[in-house]
Structures are given as structure tokens and as C-alpha cells.
Amino acid sequence: MSKPSCQLILALDLPDQQQALNFLDKTGGQLQWVKIGLQLFTKHGPDFVKAVADKGYKIFLDLKLHDIPNTVASSVKSLSQLPIELLTLHTAGGSEMMRAAVQAAQETAPNLKLLGVTVLTSMDEAGLQELSISQSPQERVVHLAKLGVEAGLPGLVCSALELPVLRKELGPSPLLVTPGIRPAGSATDEQKRVTTPKDAAQQGASFIVVGRPILKAQDPQNAVETILTDLHLPATI
Ligand code: C5P
């Protein structure tokens, strides 16, 4: 099977290390990428990241760093000791913070790709206004995404809704990593706007992040394989 241009990342959002590691054993051999978020990292720390990497997975560490440039750069240097390939930071931290992070990654972990988070999807127009931000969420996403790319970030996290505008504004180069994905027919949970794996891939996602449709599946291996098949389907016109 040739490597798909859009890859699947499992969001390993489970309460503890043992459940997470046990779960991975049920996903079969085709899953390559795992996202570890704040919940498990704050509970089990770097050892958990190493335990998942020891099972052969590539790791997306979703810590959404946001602090003064020196602190973020130092954190990137510390994290570069870990077997991780993707790491998030907030573009709202500003160009100087992002450039410091990019430089730290280049010096200590040249294969580590930093991903910028723009506007959290939990934030709407009213939430932005509360922060004295008059831009619409989409205007702000595009603004922050451009800032991130100009600062040297190789990629961004964005919703599937934002894929078309970001590909138009930024071209094919940046990695676009997209959550809020639901295979056709599966529960949407509290995600308000969902996109199928195939649609996200066709709209330019480099990676899709999928949690509960796999975590809650009766047969997780089958859920993974169905999504991978969907990612390989040719475009329908
Ligand atoms: O279970 P589900 O597929 O909804 O999980 C999606 C993952 O992507 C979760 O880890 C969630 O925190 C993350 N995420 C998201 N929406 C964003 C950013 C991240 O759902 N805008």
C-alpha cells in the first residue's frame, strides 16, 4: 500500500497510562501516529511518551505551549530529548515566541515539527470580543496562521472548515493537521461541525486527528482500517 498523502493520528484521550497502552494493543498494525495531550502528559510525563514510542508509534505531543519566548524555547529544548515528531504551540504567543521555538527546535531536534494552534474551536465571535479582538474567528485564524508560517512554523492545527481558506492563503507547503473528524455514520459527540476523513483529505489536510470514533469503537482495529481505507479512496466528482 503506498503512503497516503493524508495520514491518520489517533488522539489517545484516555484516563491513564495503563488503559492507553492496553488500548494501543487493540488497534492492529496499521496505525502509525498517536497524539498525546495534556491529560496524559501531566499525569504520566515523559516516561509515558517513551512507552508509547517504544511500541513503535510516532508521537504528536499536543501541549499547546504559550509563554515568554525564552521559556517556550527552553521547553522545546527539554522536549526535544523525547521521541516526538510533532509539537504544538499557540500562535497567539506572537512572532518572537514562535521564532524562538523554531530556532530551539532547529538546534536541538531538527526532525521535530512545530505546529501552530490559531483560534481554539471553543472560542466564538463573542469570546474574541471579550478579549477585545474585533476580527471574526476566520479572519483571526488566517491572520495567526500567516504569522506562524512567516515565523518559520512548518505546520498548523486547523478545523476542516478552515482547510480551503488556509490552503488558498498559504499554498501546499504547510502541514495542516485537522481534528473534528467523524467517519460517515459515527456519533459526532460534542463536536459541532464534523468532516469525514475522505473530505478532509480532499480539502488539503496533511493529517487527521481522530479520537472517540476509534476509542469507543467495539473493534478499534476495524475502525482504524476503515478510516485508512477512506483516506485512500479516489476522489468522487
Ligand atoms: O474524540 P475526538 O475525535 O473529538 O478528538 C479530537 C481530538 O482533537 C481531541 O484530542 C481534541 O482535544 C482535539 N482537538 C479538537 N478540536 C480542536 C483542537 C483539538 O477536537 N479545535
What is the set of domains in the chain, with CATH numbers? 7-231 (3.20.20.70)
* Among 175, 184, 166, 162, residue whose Cα is nearest residue 236: 184
Is 64 a catalytic site residue? Answer: yes
The answer to whether the CB of 153 is under 6 A from ligand 1 is no
235: confidence class by pLDDT, cuts 50, 70, 90: low
Q: What is the mean pLDDT of the chain?
A: 94
Q: Which of 50, 64, 77, 113 is an active site residue?
A: 64
Pocket probe mutation, ligand 1, options 9, 13, 91, max atoms within 8 Å of Cβ: 13
Whether the pLDDT of residue 97 is over 50: the answer is yes
The answer to whether the CB of 32 is under 6 A from ligand 1 is no
Atom 10 of ligand 1 has which residue's CA nearest to it?
11
The answer to whether the CB of 197 is under 6 A from ligand 1 is no
Give percent of the chain with pLDDT exceeding 70: 96
Q: CA-based diameter of the chain, in Å?
A: 50
User: Which amino acid would we find at residue 224?
Assistant: V
Q: How far apart are CA 203 and CA 197, in angstroms?
A: 10
Q: What is the per-residue pLDDT for 133?
A: 92
Q: How far apart are CA 149 and CA 226, in angstroms?
A: 33
Whether the pLDDT of residue 189 is over 70: the answer is yes
Residue entry with cell 527552553: 74
The answer to whether the CB of 116 is under 6 A from ligand 1 is no
Burial 165-192 (b: 16+ CB within 10 A, else e): ebbeebeeebbbbbbbbbbeebeeeebe
Give percent of the chain with pLDDT exceeding 90: 87
Torsion of CA 225, 228, 234, 237, to 10 degrees: 100
The answer to whether the CB of 180 is under 6 A from ligand 1 is yes
Q: What is the per-residue pLDDT for 139?
A: 94
Phi and psi (nearest 5°) for 116?
A: -90, 135
Sign of the alpha-carbon torsion through 212, 37, 57, 234: positive
Whether the pLDDT of residue 190 is over 80: the answer is no
Cα-only R_g, the chain: 17
Atom 21 of ligand 1 has which residue's CA nearest to it?
121
User: Distance, CA 121 to ligand 1 centroid (Å)?
Assistant: 9
The answer to whether the CB of 211 is under 6 A from ligand 1 is yes
| pTM given for the model | 0.94
Q: What count of other Cβ atoms lies within 10 Å of the Cβ of residue 31? A: 22
**Pairs from 120-128 (Cβ < 8 Å, separation ≥ 24):** 121/159, 121/180, 121/192
Burial 85-109 (b: 16+ CB within 10 A, else e): bbbbbbbbbbeebbbbbbebbeeeb
Give per-residue pLDDT as tens, 76-90: 999 999 999 999 999
